[in-house]
C-alpha cells in the first residue's frame, strides 16, 4: 500500500494546484499561521477548503468525555476542511500548525465551481482523496497487524514526506515523543526505546529541535 501512496504523491508533483487556481481565476486568501496556532477548531462552521502551501498541520479530535487523539499530520500539497464540500455543517477536527505554515483558503462556492468546470483540478482532487483513503487503510492495518515499532517507522516516514521527494535523508522539525506515541497508539517510553534503536541502526538522527530521517527506515516495515 505504501507503494500506492508513493505513486499518488508522484501525481501530486505533476500538477501545481496553486498555479492552476491562479490561472482559472479562483479567489483565495493566503494566511501565515505560526507554530501552535489553531487554524480552525472542531465544531466551528465548515465554510472553506484549505490548501497547505508550506509547513505541517496536526489534526486532532476530542471525544465527548474530553479525550484527545491525533488523527493525522498533513504537509505541503494537502487539503484541509474538504468535508464542507459534502454539506458537513461543522469542522470534524481541530487543525493546529506544528510549525509556521502558509495556508491558502478557498471559499466553498469557488472550489465547487472549479471542480465542476476544470477537469484537471477534479482529477487531482479525486487522486488526493483516494490517496488519503489508502493512508487511512494503512493506519488501520498497522493498528490491527503491525507492531508499535513498525507503526512508528511508518509514522516517521510520513512525517519525512517519503515518496514526495527523492532525497535519501529528510529533515523534520522536532515532534515530541509524546505526540508520536499518541499518533501510533503506544506509550512514550516505547517510542523512546524504538527511537534509540533506530538511531543505533543509523535510520534516524535527532537533536537541535529536529529529526533527520533516512529512507532506509523502510527496512523496518514488512513488505505488503
Q: Is the pLDDT of residue 103 over 90?
A: yes
Residue with cell 483565495: 28
Report the pLDDT averaged over residues 35-54.
94
Report the pLDDT averaged over residues 37-65.
94
**Distance, CA of 65 to CA of 112 (rounded, Å):** 35
Number of domains in the chain: 2
Q: Is the pLDDT of residue 149 over 90?
A: yes
Would you say residue 213 lies in a domain? yes
Report the pLDDT averaged over residues 195-200.
94
Q: Is the pLDDT of residue 114 over 80?
A: yes
Q: Is the pLDDT of residue 10 over 50?
A: no
Q: Which three cell numbers stand for residue 221?
A: 516495515
Residue 11: which pLDDT band, with cuts at 50, 70 and 90?
very low
Half-sphere exposure of 86 (CA within 13 A, CB side): 8
Asked whether residue 208 falls in the same domain as residue 180, the answer is: yes
Its pTM stands at 0.75
Is the CB of residue 64 less than 8 Å from the CB of residue 56?
Answer: no
DSSP at 216? G
**pLDDT for position 136:** 85
Q: What are the pLDDT digits (tens) for 55-73?
A: 999 999 999 998 888 888 8
Separation of CA 27 from chain center: 24
Q: Is the pLDDT of residue 173 over 80?
A: no
Q: What are the pLDDT digits (tens) for 84-94?
A: 998 788 999 99
Domain that holds residue 212: 147-220
Would you say residue 142 lies in a domain? no
**pLDDT for position 7:** 44
Is the CB of residue 217 less than 8 Å from the CB of residue 198?
Answer: yes
DSSP at 162? B
**pLDDT for position 201:** 94
Where a domain ends, among 110, 137, 164?
137
Asked whether residue 133 falls in the same domain as residue 161, the answer is: no
The CATH number for 180's domain is: 1.10.10.10
The CATH number for 80's domain is: 2.60.120.10
**pLDDT for position 12:** 47
Backbone angles phi, psi at 197, to 5 degrees: -65, -45
Q: Is the pLDDT of residue 180 over 80?
A: yes
Amino acid at each position: 500500500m505504501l507503494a500506492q501512496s508513493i505513486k499518488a504523491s508522484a501525481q501530486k508533483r505533476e500538477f501545481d494546484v496553486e498555479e492552476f487556481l491562479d490561472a482559472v481565476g479562483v479567489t483565495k486568501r493566503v494566511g501565515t499561521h505560526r507554530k501552535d496556532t489553531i487554524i480552525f477548531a472542531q465544531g466551528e462552521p465548515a465554510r472553506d477548503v484549505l490548501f497547505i502551501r508550506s509547513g505541517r498541520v496536526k489534526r486532532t479530535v476530542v471525544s465527548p468525555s474530553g479525550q484527545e487523539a491525533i488523527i493525522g499530520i498533513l504537509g505541503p500539497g494537502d487539503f484541509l476542511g474538504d468535508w464542507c464540500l459534502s454539506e458537513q455543517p461543522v469542522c470534524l477536527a481541530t487543525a493546529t500548525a506544528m510549525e509556521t505554515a502558509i495556508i491558502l483558503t478557498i471559499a466553498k462556492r469557488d472550489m465547487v465551481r472549479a471542480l465542476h468546470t476544470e477537469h484537471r483540478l477534479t482529477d487531482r482532487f479525486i487522486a488526493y482523496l483516494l490517496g488519503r483513503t489508502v493512508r487511512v487503510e494503512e493506519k488501520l492495518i498497522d493498528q490491527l497487524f503491525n507492531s508499535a515499532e513498525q507503526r512508528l517507522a511508518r509514522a516517521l516516514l510520513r512525517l519525512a514526506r517519503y515518496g514526495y521527494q527523492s532525497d535519501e535523508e529528510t529533515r523534520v522539525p522536532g515532534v515530541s515523543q509524546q505526540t508520536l506515541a499518541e499518533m501510533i497508539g503506544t506509550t512514550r517510553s516505547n517510542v523512546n526505546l524504538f527511537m534509540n534503536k533506530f538511531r543505533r541502526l543509523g535510520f534516524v538522527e535527532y537533536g537541535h529541535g529536529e529529526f533527520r530521517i533516512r529512507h532506509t527506515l523502510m527496512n523496518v516495515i514488512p513488505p505488503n
